[in-house]
Amino acid sequence: MASNTPEHPGAEGRDAAETPAKKKRRIDKYQGFLEEEKEFLSKCEQMESRTRKILKASYEKLSSFVGQKNLPDEIKYLKDHLSKLTEKTSLDPIYIGLFGSTGAGKTSLLNAILEKQFFLPVSGSASCTSCVVQIHTSRAESCEAKIHLLSNKEWRVEMENLLKLAEKYGDANGHNDDCDDDEGNDDEGKEAILKLRAIYGQNAETKSYEELLKAKPVINIPTSRCILLRGDEAKLSDKLDPYIRCQKNKDTGESDQDGDARLWPLIKKVEVTIPRPDVIPEGVVFVDIPGTGDFNDKRDQMWKESINACSVIWIINGMVRIQGGKVQEMLLAESIKAYQTGKCNDITLVVTKSDALNLEEYKSEHDAVLERNESVKLERRKEIMRKLQKELPSDSEILGKADLVYTVSAREYWQEKKLTKEDTEIPKLRDSIRKLYLKERKKLLMNYVTEAYVILSLAQNFRSTENLKNWRFQHNTLETFVMKEINELEKEVETCFAQIEEPLSDGVVMAKTSHQNIIDGILKRTRGRQGYHQTLKALCLKNGMYASRTDTRLDINNGLAQPIYEKINAIFGTIFRNQMGTQATLKSILETFRCIVQEKFKEDGKKCSTADSSRFDFLVQETNIILSALDREILKRKAEVYHSLLHSIQDDLQPYYEAAGKVRGTGAYQKMHNIIEKNIDMEVKHGMFEWAALCMKNKLRRLKVEIAVGLQVDFSNMLKLAFSQKEKLAETLPDLQNEYKEIKGIYNKLHENAFK
């Protein structure tokens, strides 16, 4: 397709014109940071660079010394780890999620944050794609966008479900004999028809699934299922417009734009890479997350994964919508789940369009806006804090956060008619990004240097041949000690996890007594059933969960599990919290274990000769690496534990969703309603909630065992490596004493209080 081909001449011409700006960007890579922060980042870069050079030199020395064939396992281990560390980046991407519904002002806010007023197309009143859009900043000099489409298999699954929704909607007049008279007008059916017509043209909804499989789409779909766009910012913005903003004629179901604009039902994800703006640190990734997810399974999965991958979530809500209850509650609830189970460690409410005010009684509209904004901040902070305090442990770090709510205006940031740039609070949001970057930069550099220190300690250890018999005895003694401590740790973890049993039981009781009210709230409509027939149909087709574009996210399974979650959320957050706390937390138990075994290694290290001290340096630092890896694994597994309640309920109810989804004919709404309601009641009587609670407890038991077994294996392997002294091995290895000492010096400097 012509539109997918990079416009090389225009891009080259613009590149030539922008040469001075590029040089400036290279000269001051830390523009946007304070002077002391620039000094800190410069030190970090120097340390990283020196560490990388030491590792590379060590790898080359080792490779030239030992050759390539018939290498002992210990040498292979060293070479492999030195090679990986040489290539490893010391700064992972930092994901910041902008979480809000269409029209909340996410794109305008993002353009202002990036200092690019017209870069990303703003939706206005248009219907946007519900895919996730990622904005990457990099050192690249040009812009690039990748439009990822649903695979053929993924589209076929969605198409089949869309046809089921569309058949109930009827012809263009909304009439179908299979539907109840008051159920013919619904947004779900319209949306299904719009998608089918966009790909297959007019009357696509009247064809069968088999006919559409054979039909030729009215648009050109690339076989790679990926569209690559390149160009300067202005040209790329124009090219992106039909993918990020799609105008649709709701009368005909046709796209108001031609060509690629009709691809919107197939778009799964959009990735945009731009040269790093001076005001944003390198490696920051902004994620535009649609408010309610998506009807398509793959896009909805990406929606969930995107939320859980974000370190920071900004809940975006327009000032004119600030009173909207349901969507706001859902956004906050999903953000809290991410805080409980994902990588999120910070939640912020960002109220956009804060300049939308016109009060004649004020002499200064500037003062009126600021006064109203402060009032909104106080009100919203109280509301959010009540929710956070209810769901999270009382000593959670976020509960002490000062800036929980920002009131911003992207329009005034550019125009400065009512507010100054500072008053728009866009610079304050950038400051929060900068502080997060500095924190992550130091943490990841320390991890990188620690890994380098560990591997060079091990290399030095392999060269030691003193007192081999004594070291074998020491190996056995330390292994016995560590295994005993792991057994004690397993008992502590069991006690820690047992805290959840009582609130879990209380939650089951509450769920059993309230499930009927919950179902009534989802299934029944006090103002008639008009338009809800297809919503219920969609709920059944998607196993009880439906992401509607016109309503909040509907989830029967989550609704039924909510009373249990309300009882366990605080204690679950305590058990799995990231920050240090009391002995009731898993983090504290692992930290106690760390301190005990490292203290033992240090004590034994003091008794050995200076030449053999590297062995115990290795043991101490490798312990940190093992437990850091365990922290990352627990982070993944806690989400699985948390959602086990929901998944258990969904599995029990799936046969009834499938049965209800097949219902057709007059009175279909009531028949579907009866199937779901009757069988939920039956499953509750048969112990559905008790079984869900048991599933969660079993997940915790399994996690406890896997923690203990994993530590046993890792520490056993670590000790085996540390005490792997062989005269032949020592003769094979080059002398890396100088490299070891230099890395140790960098490590010690990083851990000094003076390094800030």
As a whole number of Å, the end-to-end CA separation of the chain is 52
Q: Coil, strand or helix: which one is 367?
A: helix
pLDDT of residue 579: 66
* Of 540, 553, 510, 545, residue with least CA distance to 679: 540
pLDDT above 80: residue 713 = yes
Specify the range with the lowest mean pLDDT, choosing from 36-40, 128-132, 352-356, 475-479. Answer: 128-132
Give 23's pLDDT tier (boundaries 50, 70, 90). very low
Which amino acid is located at 704 in the chain? K
d(CA 298, CA 305): 10
pLDDT above 70: residue 358 = no
pLDDT of residue 185: 47
With a CB cutoff of 8 Å and minimum separation 6, the contacts of 67 are: none
Residues 400-434 have pLDDT tens digits of 998 999 999 999 999 998 899 999 999 999 999 99
Q: What is the mean pLDDT of the chain?
A: 84
- Tokens describing residue 366: 């500037």
Specify the range with the lowest mean pLDDT, choosing from 46-60, 159-173, 420-434, 699-713. Answer: 159-173
Residues 182-218 have pLDDT tens digits of 444 456 788 889 899 999 999 999 999 999 999 999 9
Give 692's pLDDT tier (boundaries 50, 70, 90). very high
User: Which helix (H) or strand (E) is 8 found in, with range?
Assistant: helix 8-17
CA dihedral 18, 19, 22, 26 (to 10 degrees): -170
What is the pTM (predicted TM-score) of this model?
Answer: 0.85
Q: Coil, strand or helix: which one is 71?
A: coil
- Tokens describing residue 192: 């299904």
Query: What is the mean pLDDT of the segment spanning 315-341?
Result: 80
Residues 469-512 have pLDDT tens digits of 677 778 899 999 999 999 999 999 999 999 999 999 999 999 99
pLDDT of residue 214: 93
CA dihedral 365, 98, 298, 136 (to 10 degrees): 120
d(CA 352, CA 509): 41
Specify the range with the lowest mean pLDDT, choosing from 117-126, 171-180, 271-280, 579-588. Answer: 171-180
- Tokens describing residue 635: 């982070």
Task: Using the structure block, give the residue that is written with the tokens 């056995």.
Answer: 476
Give 660's pLDDT tier (boundaries 50, 70, 90). very high
DSSP annotation string for 44-62: HHHHHHHHHHHHHHHHHHH
pLDDT of residue 360: 55
Q: Coil, strand or helix: which one is 165?
A: helix
Are 218 and 262 spatial neighbours (Cβ–Cβ below 8 Å)?
yes
Q: Coil, strand or helix: which one is 347?
A: strand
Q: Residue 152 CB: number of other CB atoms within 10 A? A: 11
d(CA 331, CA 387): 12
Query: What is the mean pLDDT of the segment spanning 257-275?
Result: 83
User: Which helix (H) or strand (E) is 99 found in, with range?
Assistant: strand 94-100
Task: Using the structure block, give the residue that is written with the tokens 């297959």.
Answer: 200
User: What is the longest distance spanned by two Cα atoms in the chain?
Assistant: 91
Bridge pairing between strands 94-100 and 226-231: unpaired
pLDDT of residue 420: 94
* Of 248, 27, 270, residue with least CA distance to 123: 248
With a CB cutoff of 8 Å and minimum separation 6, the contacts of 749 are: 47, 755
- Tokens describing residue 646: 């929901």
Cα angle, residue 114 at apex, residues 111 and 115 outer, rounded to 5°: 85
pLDDT of residue 644: 96
Give 286's pLDDT tier (boundaries 50, 70, 90). very high
* Of 706, 708, 705, 693, residue with least CA distance to 500: 693
Give 168's pLDDT tier (boundaries 50, 70, 90). low
Strand order through the sheet with 226-231: 226-231, 143-149, 267-275, 132-138, 284-290, 94-100, 312-318, 346-352, 405-407
User: Which helix (H) or strand (E) is 496 found in, with range?
Assistant: helix 468-498
Residues 605-640 have pLDDT tens digits of 887 766 567 888 889 989 999 999 999 999 989 999
pLDDT of residue 251: 45
Q: Coil, strand or helix: which one is 546?
A: strand
CA dihedral 394, 398, 399, 404 (to 10 degrees): -160
pLDDT above 60: residue 550 = no
Are 746 and 51 spatial neighbours (Cβ–Cβ below 8 Å)?
yes
pLDDT of residue 9: 36
Bridge pairing between strands 245-246 and 132-138: unpaired
- Tokens describing residue 752: 């000094």
Give 22's pLDDT tier (boundaries 50, 70, 90). very low
* Of 73, 146, 139, residue with least CA distance to 277: 139
| Of 756 and 134, more confident | 134
Give 16's pLDDT tier (boundaries 50, 70, 90). very low
Task: Using the structure block, give the residue that is written with the tokens 């519900």.
Answer: 130
Specify the range with the lowest mean pLDDT, choosing from 379-393, 460-474, 495-509, 533-547. Answer: 460-474
* Of 335, 323, 425, residue with least CA distance to 380: 323
pLDDT of residue 96: 96
d(CA 597, CA 401): 35
Are 144 and 273 spatial neighbours (Cβ–Cβ below 8 Å)?
yes
β-bridge partners, 284: 94
- Residue 565: DSSP 8-state: H
pLDDT above 50: residue 20 = no
The rounded Cα 741 to chain-centroid distance in angstroms is: 39
| Helix boundaries (H) for 217-364 | 233-244, 297-309, 326-341
d(CA 1, CA 256): 19
pLDDT of residue 287: 94
